[in-house]
A = this chain, B = another copy of it.
Amino acid sequence: MSDPSFSIGALSRETGVKVPTIRFYESIGLLPAADRTASDRRVYDRKAVQRLAFVRHARDLGFPVEAVRSLLELADHPEQSCADADRLAAEHLAEVRRKIGQLEALRDELARVTAQCARGKVADCRVIEVLSDHSLCLTPDHH
């Protein structure tokens, strides 16, 4: 059986998570406190690599740290119902959709405004004009 051990740098290379970020995750309790060598350096095993990869993946998918914490907790208890995991993912998905909608409205507004810019003086600038007068917006409810 293989039982390799990793320094924090090796763990970082394995997972693509930066060294200070790993220490940060430990400090907020997202990762358990690592074992230490005699000279106080952190030592990790395969399980730690997997756990951090899980964290990284969840973060890349945009889950907030608190959601990641819950997901880790769930992953540690395979016999439980997965309703919570499903709910977390669904909530996050809804949030992502909401943000996309917002950004699309924003994109349309910006595209319209920049397209109309005649590239003359500021006095005639469509960008500045629209910023000065909200009623010129196509979607006045972007706030």
Residues of chain A whose beta carbon lies under 8 Å from any beta carbon of chain B: 16, 50, 53-54, 56-58, 60-62, 71, 74-75, 77-83, 85-86, 88-90, 92-93, 96-97, 99-100, 103-104, 106-107, 109-111, 113-114, 117, 119-125, 127-128, 130-132, 134, 142-143
Q: What residue in chain B is nearest A93 (Cβ atoms)? A: B110
Contact of A119 among B50, B86, B134 (CB under 8 A): B86
Q: Is the CB of A77 within 8 A of B122?
A: yes
Whether the pair B106, A71 counts as a contact (CB closer than 8 A) is: no
Query: Could you list some 30 contacts between A and B, CB below 8 A?
Result: A56-B143, A57-B132, A57-B134, A57-B143, A58-B131, A60-B142, A61-B106, A61-B142, A62-B103, A62-B106, A71-B127, A71-B128, A75-B128, A75-B131, A75-B132, A81-B119, A81-B121, A82-B117, A82-B119, A82-B120, A82-B124, A82-B127, A82-B128, A85-B125, A85-B127, A86-B114, A89-B114, A93-B107, A93-B110, A100-B103
